[in-house]
Copies of this chain bind each other. A is one copy, B any other.
Amino acid sequence: MRSSSLSAVCCLLPYPVDVSLIDLAKSGDRRSLARLVSRVEDDTVEGREALAALYPDGGAAWVTGVTGAPGAGKSTLVDGLVGFAADQGNVAVVAIDPSSPFSGGAVLGDRIRMQRHTDDPRIYIRSMANRGHLGGLADSTPRVVALLDGIGFSEVLIETVGVGQAEIDVASSADTVIVTVNPGWGDSIQAAKAGLLEIGDVFVVNKADRPDVDETVTELLRMLDVGPDRAWRPPIVTTVATDGTGLDELWSAILDHRRYLTETGELEGRRRERASREIEAAVRTGLRRRASLDPGGVELLERVATREIDPWSAAGTIIESM
């Protein structure tokens, strides 16, 4: 009710629509927020202006990424964490996994369970599962997160599958990265092979009502011990997300990691590095668009593949065309 009456007001206001959209979104109007997010996702001029206007207000949100293989129980974990996060402030959930109940995937029972959050004014859930290929998601997710931060959400949870470089990049851009595995030998190895052991700040062995939990924890510990020492030693938490077991411990581990990052000053370095990577990625995307690499690029690639020209001359041609 509240949102529709507010958006009716919007068109009577004397100041520019975008300012009112931002103000309305800040005041809690979900429809205005959804429109803003769409503009940012689509990278429209209005979306860019909104981001530029809101970025100086941001930086207060804590971004938690939850990743792991499909079926590891990430959505149920996020669903549980939302409750804890909502005690700290407004919560935004960005779901990228197409099979997530938040994204309309998964079985109906799960979807209904998640939907109880939809009516909570402190909680905003955005599915990005259908925004095209993963590369596009990796491009737009950080922008959407920055928008939600600037709007005033103090907790942002990203749910993303830990498969593929683009998704790993998304996950590792969070302040705290939760890596989810299940009991059993192969899962933690798969996580290692996917590069998840390197990015996890907190590890969760979910579905801990299944056999082999202790072996999985031991194995994770041993694998984490291999390699150079890190100042932060990632804790391993066992959970049964479906009945809430272990979620309080997981939330404590997340808060411990926050305290660690904040007190050591590592948070600033981490965010600075994230900004640097984001600028570089945006330059790449922008240039790819400007050069419209696809038509000329494919033809050039063909000429390189047939050894008519070398890759470095091809690159020179592309750069000159920009």
Q: How far is the CA of A283 from the CA of B283 in the complex (A)?
A: 12
Q: How far is the CA of A4 from the CA of B297 in the complex (A)?
A: 44
A268 to chain B: which residues have CB within 8 Å?
Answer: 305
Cβ of A313 < 8 Å from any Cβ of B?
A: yes
A136 to chain B: which residues have CB within 8 Å?
Answer: none
Q: How far is the CA of A264 from the CA of B159 in the complex (A)?
A: 38
Cβ of A287 < 8 Å from any Cβ of B?
A: yes
Whether B313 contacts A283 by the Cβ 8 Å rule is no
Cβ of A185 < 8 Å from any Cβ of B?
A: yes
Given A301-B272, A307-B56, are A315 and B279 neighbors across the interface (CB < 8 Å)?
Answer: yes
Task: Tell me which of B282, B283, B310 contacts A55 (CB under 8 A).
Answer: B310
A319 to chain B: which residues have CB within 8 Å?
Answer: 283, 286-287, 290
Q: How far is the CA of A118 from the CA of B84 in the complex (A)?
A: 66
Whether B287 contacts A287 by the Cβ 8 Å rule is yes
Whether A312 contacts B51 by the Cβ 8 Å rule is yes
- Where chain A touches its partner, the secondary structure class is helix
Whether A307 contacts B55 by the Cβ 8 Å rule is yes
Whether A307 contacts B226 by the Cβ 8 Å rule is no
Shortest CB-to-CB span from A285 to chain B, Å, is 8
Given A56-B308, A190-B227, are A301 and B314 neighbors across the interface (CB < 8 Å)?
Answer: no
Q: How far is the CA of A268 from the CA of B306 in the complex (A)?
A: 10
Task: Tell me which of B193, B223, B272, B315 contacts A286 (CB under 8 A).
Answer: B315
A318 to chain B: which residues have CB within 8 Å?
Answer: 279, 283
Shortest CB-to-CB span from A42 to chain B, Å, is 13
Cβ of A52 < 8 Å from any Cβ of B?
A: yes
Shortest CB-to-CB span from A305 to chain B, Å, is 5
- Give me the 6 closest cross-chain CB pairs, A-B, nearest first: A282-B315, A55-B310, A278-B311, A192-B192, A186-B226, A275-B304
Other A-B contacts than A193-B226, A276-B301, A279-B304, 10 sampled, CB-CB below 8 A, are A52-B313, A55-B307, A55-B313, A142-B311, A275-B301, A278-B312, A279-B301, A282-B315, A286-B315, A286-B316
Report 8 cross-chain contacts, Cβ distance below 8 Å, ordered by A residue: A55-B310, A55-B313, A146-B311, A189-B226, A192-B223, A275-B304, A276-B301, A279-B301
